[in-house]
Structure 1
């Protein structure tokens, strides 16, 4: 095996020198926002995606985005509920569900714009 200045080792396979690359396997599966960010990077920022994938920073980045997005969703939902209180859940269940779905859609739009698609 030969090594170069970047400490990458190579194996000879036939007439070729192939790098011995290993990818760290994620410990925890990605959630919704991590997967959305990964898809965005793959489709719209392929050079950045491949660079992060090869240098091992992709999974930590995706997990950080996931955690930040979940936290931001929770904070935004709390703020929106303070501004627009929900109807009584027991007496007006459908109105409560519609209200909460509307608030969640607003919060998610903010999170997607700020964290995922940037």
Structure 2
């Protein structure tokens, strides 16, 4: 028997299932590279809220930036009609560029 009571700190695995890709990436980054901040958020009970906010913000940024990036890259209806594979490659490149921006600004910051 012990005279110490240790509180159960954290959140359930079910709560983390609701996190999207970017929230899970942020959690992994914090655990691996910013353990002090991770532990502080965990102990204060705000980790899940922080991860959910990062995830939502990242998805909103992706939705806002993709059309702009695609337009700047030259993705048009004509390209879709005449060269669909080229358009697919162009859109994949745009998504990779937008995700790199999101990773640098939100996940790894």
C-alpha distance in 2 between matches for 1:27 and 1:36: 11
Scaled by the length of structure 1, what TM-score is found?
0.80
Is the strand fraction higher in 1 or 2? 1
Is the helix fraction higher in 1 or 2? 2
With over 3 angstroms needed to count, the CA separation of the structure-2 counterparts of 1:16 and 1:50, relative to structure 1, is same
> What is the aligned residue count?
105
List gaps (5 residues or longer) in structure 2: none
C-alpha distance in 1 between matches for 2:81 and 2:71: 19
Question: Residue 52 of structure 1 is aligned with which of 23, 41, 65?
Answer: 41
Q: Which has the higher contact order (CA 8 A, sep 6+)?
A: 2
Work out which of the two has the higher radius of gyration on C-alpha atoms and give 1 or 2: 1
List gaps (5 residues or longer) in structure 1: 1-13
The 3-state SS of whatever aligns with 2:5 is: strand
1:82 is displaced (CA, Å) by 2.4
The 3-state SS of whatever aligns with 2:100 is: helix
User: After the TM superposition, which parts of structure 1 deviate over 3 Å for at least 4 consecutive aligned residues?
Assistant: 22-25
1:85 is displaced (CA, Å) by 2.3
C-alpha distance in 2 between matches for 1:100 and 1:79: 11
Cα displacement string for residues 69-99 of structure 1 (whole angstroms, at most 9, x for unaligned residues): 0011111112112222215223211101100
Scaled by the length of structure 2, what TM-score is found?
0.86
Verify: 1:71 aligned to 2:76, yes or no.
no
